[in-house]
Each structure stands twice: as C-alpha cells, then as structure tokens.
Chains A and B, each alone.
Chain A
Amino acid sequence: MADVTITVDGVTITVPAGTNVVDAARMAQIAIPVFCYHPRMKPVGMCRMCLVQIGTPKLDPATRQPLLDEAGKPVIAMMPKLQTACTTPVSEGMVINTQSPEVKFAQRGVLEFLLTSHPLDCPVCDKGGECPLQNLTMEWGPASSRFDYTDKVHFEKPVPLGDLILLDRERCILCSRCVRFQDELADDPVLGFDHRGRNWMIISRSDPPFDSKFSGNTTDICPVGALTSSDFRFRARVWELTPIPAVCTLCPVGCNMTLDMRHERLMRVMPRENAAVNDIWLCDKGRYGHRFFEHESRLTAPLIRRGEKLVEASWDEALSLVAEKLEAVQRAHGGAAIAGLASPRLSNEDLYLFQKLFREQLQSNNLDHLPGAPGEAPHDDLGALLSVGKDANLMELGAGDVVLVLGADPEEEAPLYVLRLRSAVQRGAQLIVANLRPTKLERSATLAARYLPGGELAFLHGLLRELLAAGGRVTVKSSGFDDLKRVLNDMSAERITERAGVAAETIAAAARALGEARRLVIIYGAEARSAGPAVVEALGALLALSGKAGHAQSGLIALLPGGNSRGALDMGVRPDARPGYAPLARPGLAARDLWPALRDGRVRAVWIAGLDPAANFPAARAALAEAEFVVVQDLFLTPTAHLAHVVLPAASVAEREGTYTNAERRVQRTRQARGPVGHSRPDWQIFAQVGRALSARAGAQAPRDTTADDAWDYLTAAEVAAEIAERVPGYAGVTYTALAATGKPGTWGRQANEAIYYDGTNYENTEGIGIKLPAPVESGAVSINLAPRPAPAPGDERPILLLSQPLAYGGDPLLRGSKLEQHVPAPYVALNSADAERRNIHSGDLVRLDSAAGSLTLPARVVADVPPGVALVPADLPGVELAAVQTGPRTRVHLVKLVV
C-alpha cells in the first residue's frame, strides 16, 4: 500500500496509508492514550480518550493542489473539533497535535468523567498494578475530581458472566473491548450490552453463560479490573508474581505462556506474545487447565509392588529393580520381548532418550506413543515431510493466500487456530472449510463444502481432477504421478459429485482457489485422519499438484492428539522408523499389536510413560494385568499404574525444562517454574538413569565398551537437546541457546513497556520464540509418493457410522483440579434428528451401539449438526470404553434404543 507522510507533534514520519492516527503516532514514538482501541480489533471510538487535534492541507478548489503560504509550506486547515485518533486514518500531509492545551484539557476531562463512578478500590482489585486506567490516570489524568465522592453509583458485585469470568460493574468503563473480542476475533458473539444510561452493562447472552473457549482473553484486554477470572481472583497482587516462560502442552498449537508463580505456587497462567504461534492470545484450556501439577493426588515417591499392594520405595531400589528385570527379560527372551509406550505430552528430550534406551540399550523396536486403541488413526508422516517450511508464519497469510481446513474441528482440537485463521481471513486470505458436519470455523470460511460421510476421498479426487485439468504439475521429487493421473482420468465427474455430495461448482471453485493461491496451507484433523491414510495422501497430492509443495510458506499442518505428537514422531517413538522418519527394515510391534503379544507371552515387559491405556481400553487392561513386568511412569496413580509392578513418579511440565515441537514443527522451549513434587524426577532423567544402570550391568559382564557409560551421562536437559540437534535429522542447530532468540526487535508491533496501554496484560516475549524446522521436502531430501491407494473394500453394512470426536474439555486427565473440570460433558452419543426419529430415540434415551467388535450403551443427544447416518461420541471421556465397540477409527454400528 502507498505510504503517506504525516507530522505528529512536529515529527515528520512516513507510515502506510490506512494506518490510524494512534498507530501512526506510535511509530513516531509518541503515545496517544487509549482505552477502547486495541490494535487487533476494529476501532470504535467509544472511550474518547484518544482525542487529538488533526489538520489537513488546505486544497485549492480549482486545481485540487495544496495551497502554499508565503514560506512555501502547505496551509494546514485544523479541524474545528478534536478528533478520535483511533478512528481517523492518516492522509497525506496530515498534521497531528497531541500536546496542545485543548488536547490536554480533553484528556483530563475524559479521565475525570470515566472516574466519576469508578469505585477506586484499587487495593482489592486484581488489575491493580497492571491497570491501564491507573497508568493513564497517573500520566494524563487530573489530580483531583470535581465530582462528589459520595455521589458515586454503586452496584452489587461481582456479577458472574460465566463460571470463569466475573464482572465488576462499578469498575467497567464500557469500552466494549470484551464484546468486540468475542464478536470479531473469537466468533463467539456471546457478550453484549444491556440497559442504558448509568445502568448500561455487559451481559452474557449465551446458555451456558459466556460459552466461549477464549473467554480468559477478555480479562487480559479489559483496560480496567471489570473482568476478572475466578481462577486468579484475589490469589496475589500482580507485582508479587514471578513469570516463568513456558509452552502449553495441552494441544498441538504450542502456545507460549507464562506460569506466574508465587512461593512455588502457580497463581495464574498468562499468554506470552509470539506472533508466529499464538499472537497475544491463549485459550481457556491453556489458561485455566494447568492446575494439575499442584493436585494433591500427584505421586511423590516411587512405588514397588509387594504382593497385592504398591509400597513406597527409594529411587535406588526402584531403578535397580527396573534395570534388573528389563535385563533379565532381554537376556531370556531378547529385546523384542520388551515394549515401551511414551506419551505424546512428553518433551523431545524425554522421547529421544526413551527411544534411545529401547533401541540402543534394550535392542527393541516395540515403541509407540499412543495406547493402541482401535480408534486411533495411523501415524502421520506427511504432516512432517510436507509441513509448512522454515520461517512459515500463519500470521503472515493474507490476500492471495489460501488455507484449506479439511476434516478438522480446530475449536476442539487446537483452539487457537480459530483465532489465527480468522485473522488470516480478515487480512484477505481465503479459508476453505470442508467437513462432514458443521463446525464453528465454517462460519468464517470464504468457501464451505460439506461432503457426505465417507465422501472426503471423492471430494479430494474431485479437487485433484480439477487441478490436473487446469494443468497442475508437480514440482517436487515424486513418484506415482502417472498412476494418479490414470486413476483420476478414469473417474467421471458425476460419480465424484455423487459420492462426495458436493456440487460440481463448489469443487471447481475450491480447486480454482487452490491452484491460484500464492501460498497454500492445508490443515487436517481427527476426522480426516480417521478416514484412512488415503485421505492424508490425497491432501499431500493436492499440495503437490497445486505446485506449492516445497514452498517456504506452504504445506500441511496435521492436528494430532497430545501436545507433542509431532515431537514423538520426529524422535522416532514409533515401531517403524528411527528419529527423523528413517524407516526401519524390520519394524517392531505397534501399540495395537502389543496387547495381544503381551497376552500370549511374546512381550513380557512393558514400560508405559505418561499414558493410561487401562483407563478406557479393556484389552490393554486385561493384558497388563497378566504381564510379567510393568513399569508405569506418570504424574498420578492412574488405573494403569494400579496394574504396575513399579510406579515411577515423574516431574510435571512445570518442574523441569524441555522442548516441544508443535503441529507446524516449531520447536519451543519451556523452563522450570518450581521444584519437583516430592521425590519426582524429570522423565529424561529417569530414562538416563535406567540407561546408565543397564549399561553398567552389561559392562560388568563383558567389559568391552568404556564409552557406553558416558552415553547416559546427562546432567541437564540442554545436553540431551544438544545430542538431538546432533543426531536427529532436521533438528540441527536446535539448541537451548538458539531457542532463546526472540527475532528482530520491533517485529512485535509494540514499543517497550507500552503494551499495557494498548494490547492488554499479556507478557512480552523475551525468552525465545522457538525455531521453525524446515520441511524435508524443501531441501528435496524426500520423494512424495502420489500413487493413490486402491479403494478399501466396503466391509460392514451396518447403517450408522460411529465417529469419535475429540473435545477440548474432554476427559483429559490433566484438567484435574482446574475450573474446567465442570465443563467436561457427561457421556453421550450425538445423533441426527432424522436417524433418531426413525428409531423413536429422544434426547436422554439410552441407546446401544452394536458393532462387529462389541457394544456400548450411552444416553442419546439428538442434535441438528450431525449429518444423517453418523453417530458422534466424545473421545476419551472418563468411563466411556469406546474401544469396546470400535473396530477402527471409523466403525459401522447398529443403533438400538433401550427401553428401561
């Protein structure tokens, strides 16, 4: 956009056209006070705090040229009244005066007026100490008020807007930042105004009240203490907190946050600015869901089974028992008789040492990072091989760029992507949302397609066909292009639209957008992955055929369960590949095959770190109960830990350092906020200690390799990270020092210490924005196989397709102790009203789902947003053994209404 030159308080600067006067003045290092204006939202000019004098060059009516005075300078016509700087865009030659007596008079007057009924209860207000109203009053406000103190209007307080956010009406200055955040950014228009005059107030319009996954952000951007969170209310004063930089591990976005600690206790969680990841926001799960590490049920000491009971033991006893048993099993039955499962929540250091322990010390490839329930989709490789490239940043997507979201519900799987994708749309990017059922993101889409259940592959083939017809070519190393062309050419357009259930025009429009995109990002989630690897491969082919594969800012983003699934795959915690996706000639047992192998004695010992397969998975429970030796390493005494022979207490994410790889393959570092609970130890330390014990035992029997001992001598997590940087392909240079870089100064759109006036109380990022890994396809190191898989044979003919739906507030054990626990729904199965009516099922009726594997009874919930022929069950809810009925990620079932 063209630049314009303006003069602010005598300083002449050039700013992009369209900038408003507040932002333009900030670029000249001049602060104009604001309350209602927020740089991420449209200005409304409600608070009148930003009044300034504005003048524009006088034009000669005849020539339309600026009039010049005797000195040859343009004549400036000052506007007769003060203007709100936030709603006034700059124009060429504009003169802005922020220091004149009129402006100062207006600023003092506005603040005096805003404070007429402000209760001045700063000593008890949670915002006190980081409050823009306090700061602006100190700097721009009057020293005293002409209003009578006893005339202040008082209201009952607090008013709960929801169970997480409380409103203090006396403090509210009605700037509407919270309302606009919910309307414009979060697309949860649940807040509004009610009444008028002195009774004007913020209300929640939704049921349940304040039904939004981003509600906590309104407390950050509230310029006064009107919105406070019930999570932090009256726990501490803000200046007493020690913010520790951390990364959220509750979903694959990897938002930057701070753990605000006081005396080793977590007081609150706040967003930490990172333009490439979470901007200045944080979802409620990240903000309020981190109370688990202070829960009283944390394990504090190692436990060893003695008879029926688990008895506390010392670390020495527990570790030597683990080493002794594992070595005995290895000697008697070989490494293949040992298996390991590690949670995708663990850090890269943990996961790397875990696979190193198994591959190098125990000679076992029986590794996995999911419990192996039938509902799990196969491991996702393309999300890494074709990932968005180095320096990719969704915040830079704008006009000309296209984002395709297929088979994903970002609001539940990775909530912050909703904000980021919506902001990309606001900058002009195209958002294509294709799902089998309506999602919230669909409302923000520029093009929405809803395919039939099972029609996603046909929809993708339709897109591929259109791209091919438009002359799509593959620019990266690939194989199977001819196969793909042949299969696509064999299909008829009618058949595709019929099977996909999407109009031919929609497919053509979407394909045209994909083909013409400057940059293309494809996001896919649980629903797409449940349809089988063919869908993910078709998405890869789509990227390749659009010619964007290998481009730095284009690629695939897979929304995987757990906060560090991508890290687990990168680190090779999987049976079939080494770190860096190097396939193994002889893969080990996947988690799915582990349970039968454990029962028939092929596997004798199993080590489970951070996973809880016994909770909802009967086959795993039965196998573990009969296993010869089970080690469980966890934060809590889970149902799986109850079946263990040795339970090792692990330190939580707040009690150790580590790096995590997010869905886009950005590696970020989290720091230690507090000492470990009890005797718990970081996971990587436990693996290293067992590794050292095992190598010492091996060395005692056959003294051959003196370096073997050193292989397990890690003092800090940074040493493990250095080894990862050395050994894992793609992670070169990812050291703790490099991760601490914060990028170019000034790229965050804020001036030092001024954010509090404008953006809210989020923290500035001074501890590192992480490193985006390059995509393997960028360097041409990998070849993409485009050949389509043969269509799967239609198997089961049962009428209903059962899908599990990951929920943000699902049965995540890490939500324990938080205010979100009450948001976890009771188990249900969601049905389409047509399906329900045919079977005379009403909401609340008990319904039995019968599949080839078994049956499950759940209360029904008849809803409109599930397509006919689909039953949706929330995944991982406590007490719902979905594994008992699932035959795969997608299961065909009969519905039977139970009459009690």
Chain B
Amino acid sequence: MLGELFKGLGTTLRYIFKPPVTVQYPEVKRPVRERFRGRHELKRFADGKERCIGCSLCAAACPADAILVVPAENDPANPVSHGERYAAVYEINMLRCIFCGYCEDACPTNAIVLEHQYELSFYDRRASIYTKEMLLVPPDKGHGDPPPILLELQRRPSPPAQIDL
C-alpha cells in the first residue's frame, strides 16, 4: 500500500523534470500538417489574375451547400480572370463548411485551396460568411502560369460572322 503510493509519487516526480506538453495557445501556436484542411483561400496566377473562373463546380461538389458562386462575364478590356467568365460573388459559409476538401478536388483551376488557418469563430452567423474579398490572396501572392486553354494567345481571328449580301 505504502509502496504503491511512493510509486505513484515517483511518476509525478519524474515528470516534474521533463519539459511540459501544454502549448500556451494563443500565445504559442502549434504548426499544422502540410495537408491540414483549414480556412479556404482563393488563389491567383503569378500574373495576379484570379484563378477562379466562376464555374460553380465547388458549389456542386459541396456536400454541405456552403458555397455560393454568382458568375459574370469578363470585360475583355479589364478581365478579372483568364477566359470569358469570373466569379462576381464567391461566398463560403464557414458554419456550414465541414472542411471535407471536395471543393478543392472539384476545382479545375486549383483556385480554391483549404489552407492552414483554423481560427474560425464568430459572434454572429452573418460573420461566418466569408466573401470573395476575405478569401482572395493578395495580387502579389499568385503562383503558376495559366494553362493554354485559358489564354487568348494562340487563337485565330474569326472572320466576321456576317457576310455582305
């Protein structure tokens, strides 16, 4: 009986001299794994154009119906993204999102990526809706070159669609 007591205290005594496992969150933040699925980011190409082409496939893939995409046509003089279409509205409801990553899988341009930010708490439901401005990375943080299909470079000019009678 007494022996068991000392055995237990001995364990306690041993841990006193080991470094603590407790992390002082939020002062200290543990690094997450490379494939951690946290808050989404909308990526850009290296030239600063948005990768998102407003195709809504992320919304179609989303099992929680957390994503809203309203597409629009690019102004050729001042395009938001490569190609004809871009997302005029892009919203994710973080309360609905289950961080499954299906949107990332569905995205044909790797525009939406679940990144490492996990501090998602809100005082009201409205604040849980992340708009496109909140999700987009800054213009200078783009990466990669757009695929040829999105580029206008190799397109042949079309003759006028109407001929003189």
Contacts and interface: CB of A to CB of B under 8 A. Distances in A.
A209 B57 contact: no
B136 interface: no
A160 B125 CA distance: 44
B23 interface: no
Given A203-B162, A205-B163, A207-B165, A157 B60 contact: no
B149 to A, nearest CB: 6
B156 A155 contact: yes
Interface string B132-162: 0000000000000000110010111111011
A150 interface: yes
B161 A203 contact: yes
Contacts of B53: 123-124
Contact of A201 (B56, B60, B83, B159): B159
Interface stretch (A98-106, A235-243, A434-442): A235-243
A157 B56 contact: no
Interface in A96-139: 119-121, 123-124, 128
B127 interface: no
Contacts of B56: 236-237, 240
B156 A153 contact: yes
Nearest to A204: B162
Given A123-B57, A156-B158, A203 B83 contact: no
B162 A119 contact: no
A727 B114 CA distance: 64
A233 B161 contact: no
Nearest to A208: B162
B80 interface: no
Interface in A173-205: 194-195, 199, 201-205
Contacts of A206: 162
Contacts of B165: 205, 207
A234 B57 contact: no
A236 B56 CA distance: 8
B72 A124 contact: no
A124 B84 contact: yes
A205 B155 CA distance: 24
A169 B154 CA distance: 14
Contacts of B54: 124, 234
A154 B54 CA distance: 22
Given A155-B155, A233-B73, A236-B71, A161 B59 contact: no
18 contacts: A120-B149, A128-B55, A150-B148, A154-B154, A154-B156, A155-B155, A156-B155, A156-B157, A159-B158, A201-B158, A205-B163, A207-B165, A234-B85, A236-B70, A237-B56, A237-B60, A237-B71, A239-B60
Contact of A235 (B71, B83, B158): B71
Contacts of A205: 162-163, 165
A591 to B, nearest CB: 45
Contacts of B60: 237, 239-240
Given A154-B156, A234-B73, A124 B55 contact: yes
Contacts of B158: 155-157, 159, 169, 201
A158 interface: yes
Contacts of A239: 60
Given A124-B85, A157-B84, A207 B59 contact: no
B108 interface: yes
A167 interface: yes
Contacts of B157: 155-156
Nearest to B150: A121
A161 B158 CA distance: 12
Q: Would you call the interface of chain B mostly helix, strand, loop, or mixed?
A: loop
A156 B72 contact: no
A691 B23 CA distance: 74
Nearest to B60: A239
Contact of A158 (B70, B84, B109, B149): B84
Given A201-B158, A205-B163, A205-B165, 7 more contacts: A154-B156, A161-B161, A169-B158, A201-B159, A203-B162, A204-B161, A239-B60
- Return the 8 tightest CB-CB contacts between A and B, nearest first: A123-B55, A124-B85, A154-B155, A237-B56, A159-B161, A234-B73, A123-B108, A234-B71
Nearest to B152: A156
B59 A157 contact: no
Contacts of B83: 121, 124
B162 A234 contact: no
A206 B165 CA distance: 8
A153 B84 CA distance: 18
Contacts of B161: 159-161, 167, 201-204, 209
Nearest to A198: B156
Interface in A223-260: 233-237, 239-240
Interface string B77-106: 000000111000000000000000000000
Contacts of A236: 56, 70-71
Nearest to A154: B155
Q: Give the residue among B53, B71, B162 with the most A Cβ atoms within 10 A.
A: B162
B11 to A, nearest CB: 60
B160 to A, nearest CB: 8
Contacts of B57: 123
Contacts of A155: 155-158
B70 to A, nearest CB: 8
Contacts of A234: 54, 71-73, 84-85
A160 B158 CA distance: 11
Nearest to A195: B159
Contact of A207 (B71, B73, B84, B162): B162
